Amino acid sequence: MKYVLLVFVLLCYLCSCGTPAVYEKNYDLKNSSWYADSTLTFKFDIQEIDVKYNFYYNFRNTKSYPFYNLYLTYHLKDEKGNLVRTELQNATLFDAKTGKPFGNGVGGVYTHQLLHPSLTNFKFTKKGIYYFKIKQYMRKNPLEGLQAVGIRLEKVE
């Protein structure tokens, strides 16, 4: 038990040393299932447009997740509903050849924080409220083995 506590304290310390998030939110998925018609919406306020931002995806999955990757679509919109950017993306959660899970794992549950490939060093052109919406885009419905999905937004230092 003392080893579990030590690992937890160490993880908390390591996580607190990085760049502070401008915004971070995670949704827990009921019954570890993400339905194809379920859109996760993240709402955040941008007031600094003279800096660059990095977006990250946060995932928590079990070892029983049935695929090595996760296809998803995102839509970034401004407060008036204007589309800023949209794309289909692929996130790799397991090694495709060996099946070894990526991310940090304890007890068959793995967490990932993946840098968003097309929203790196991103500059907003207007101040205001933004909406980031994501949906799973896999062949399986519901997609099982995902416990949580989220995003993190950081200023580039």
The string of pLDDT tens digits covering residues 122-137 is 999 999 999 999 999 9
pLDDT for the residue 18: 64
Q: Provide the token pair at 57.
A: 């995806």
Name residues whose C-beta falls within 8 Å of residue 146's C-beta, 6 or more positions apart in sequence: 29, 32, 33, 34, 59, 60, 61, 65, 70, 136
**CA 36, CA 121: separation in Å to the nearest integer?**
30
**CA 69, CA 95: separation in Å to the nearest integer?**
9
The string of pLDDT tens digits covering residues 36-80 is 999 999 999 999 999 999 999 999 999 999 999 999 999 999 999
Pairwise pLDDT comparison (63 vs 9), residue with the higher score:
63
Closest alpha carbon to 12 in 148, 138, 104, 143: 104
User: 6 vs 13, 84, 123, CA distance in Å?
Assistant: 11, 44, 39
pLDDT for the residue 25: 98
The string of pLDDT tens digits covering residues 90-148 is 999 999 999 888 889 888 899 999 999 899 999 999 999 999 999 999 999 999 999 99
Closest alpha carbon to 62 in 4, 108, 11: 108
Give the CATH class of 21-155.
Answer: mainly beta
